[in-house]
């Protein structure tokens, strides 16, 4: 039990009237600047499973590549989405300065699995697996339909296609190491990403690890750290990027489903028609982004000699063959 349990209980008094205690407070993950904790609140004799996400020092320190929003903004986006019918955890309380716990929020702890290997291979997911792509499409349509209220517009950064492309171009240039295939991809993408048909709320990191899936289906979209206003096709392309297929190449959507099912679910839930070609543009972008991220991990290795990072750095050549398959061969 950590020493901030009494403060946490006090912070939840308004959100959970009748709270009498906190149990099983356990650190799940997190880096130096951000923590995720699991705990149970005892309330009128019942147990409420909860999650605390917080930056104890007050602010989450963003990495050089990230466009992280503050934790309060994350909470605003999650709540706006959940109220609009998006499968997302209910936010119970946003920490205030008086709580003395740093910046962050408390949300419901839902049941499910986020580990791709299990979702793609374990027998308990066999029945639901063919439905997941369609469900992802439906969830994305709902996220992209969330009304951009003045509150959301004020809180969220606008990060459109050209801005993102420029950001990754700058990062790539910084490494000062020539990758002709990446250059081809940048040139190919510039005109295709120049104009968005719509500007909507974007999850920003919709992929394995951030999707809570049970044998009944997709329970929630988690980790809204990179949420922003932008081109909705970004979310469609990212979940279809090869790196999230975990070796199941032919299942374009997260290694579990077909693109046509995702797009059908998207259209049926009101997201509008998206062609495979439009999706392909953003899959190319996802692959290029992953390739540049791999380069940056290799650069990290040069600093700290981590074996894993060095191996990931080598994986930028994987994204080059993906880009060739996508751009030159037209294969998604």
Partner 1 sequence: MLELVKAVRDFVEQRAMPELKGHTAFHARVAANALGIVARELEFGAASADGERQRLAALLGHDGALIDLNRELCTAIRDGKMGLETPGLVDHLTTTTREKVEIDQPNYGGLKRFRAG
Binding site for partner 1 (CB under 8 A): 178-181, 183-184, 186-188, 242, 245, 247-249, 307-308, 310-311, 314-315, 317-318, 320-322, 324-325, 327-329, 331
CB of 329 to partner 1, least distance (A): 7
Of 62 and 184, the one with the shorter C-beta distance to partner 1 is: 184
Nearest CA-CA partner of 296 in 181, 180, 173, 185: 173
Residue 85, classed as helix, strand or coil, is coil
CB of 231 to partner 1, least distance (A): 23
Angle at 26 between CA 22 and CA 28, to 5 degrees: 140
The answer to whether the CB of 269 falls within 8 A of the CB of 138 is yes
Count of C-beta atoms within a 10 Å radius of residue 191: 9
Of 62 and 324, the one with the shorter C-beta distance to partner 1 is: 324
CB of 255 to partner 1, least distance (A): 10
Nearest CA-CA partner of 43 in 76, 20, 65: 20
Burial class (CB in 10 A: 0-12, 13-18, 19+), 106: buried
Which phi and psi (to 5°) does residue 182 adopt? -65, -40
The answer to whether the CB of 88 falls within 8 A of the CB of 211 is no
CB of 259 to partner 1, least distance (A): 15
DSSP character at residue 328: I
CB of 205 to partner 1, least distance (A): 22
């Amino acid at each position: 039990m950590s020493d901030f349990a009494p403060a946490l209980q006090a912070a939840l008094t308004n959100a959970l009237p009748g709270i009498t205690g906190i149990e099983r407070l356990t650190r799940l993950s997190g880096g130096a600047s951000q923590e995720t904790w699991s705990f149970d609140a005892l309330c009128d004799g019942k147990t409420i499973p909860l999650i605390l996400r917080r930056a104890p020092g007050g602010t989450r320190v963003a990495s050089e590549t990230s466009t992280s929003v503050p934790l309060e903004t994350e909470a605003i986006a999650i709540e706006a989405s959940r109220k609009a019918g998006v499968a997302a955890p209910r936010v119970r309380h946003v920490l205030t300065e008086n709580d003395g716990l740093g910046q962050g929020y408390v949300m419901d702890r839902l049941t499910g699995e986020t580990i791709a290997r299990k979702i793609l291979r374990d027998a308990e997911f066999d029945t639901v697996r063919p439905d997941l792509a369609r469900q992802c499409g439906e969830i994305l349509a709902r996220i992209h339909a969330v009304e951009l209220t003045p509150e959301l517009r004020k809180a969220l950064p606008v990060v459109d296609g050209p801005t993102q492309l420029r950001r990754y171009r700058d990062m790539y240039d910084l490494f000062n190491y020539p990758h002709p295939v990446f250059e081809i991809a940048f040139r190919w993408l510039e005109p295709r990403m120049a104009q968005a048909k719509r500007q909507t709320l974007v999850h920003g990191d919709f992929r394995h690890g951030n999707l809570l899936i049970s044998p009944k289906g997709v329970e929630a979209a988690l980790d809204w750290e990179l949420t922003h206003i932008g081109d909705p096709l970004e979310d469609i392309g990212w979940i279809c990027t090869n790196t999230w297929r975990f070796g199941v190449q032919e299942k374009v959507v997260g290694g579990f489903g077909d693109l046509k099912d995702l797009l059908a679910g998207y259209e049926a839930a009101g997201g509008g028609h998206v062609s495979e070609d439009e999706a392909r543009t953003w899959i190319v972008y996802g692959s290029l982004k992953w390739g540049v991220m791999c380069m940056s991990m290799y650069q990290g290795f040069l600093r700290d000699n981590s074996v894993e990072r060095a191996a990931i750095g080598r994986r930028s050549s994987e994204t080059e063959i993906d880009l060739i398959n996508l751009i030159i061969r037209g294969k998604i």
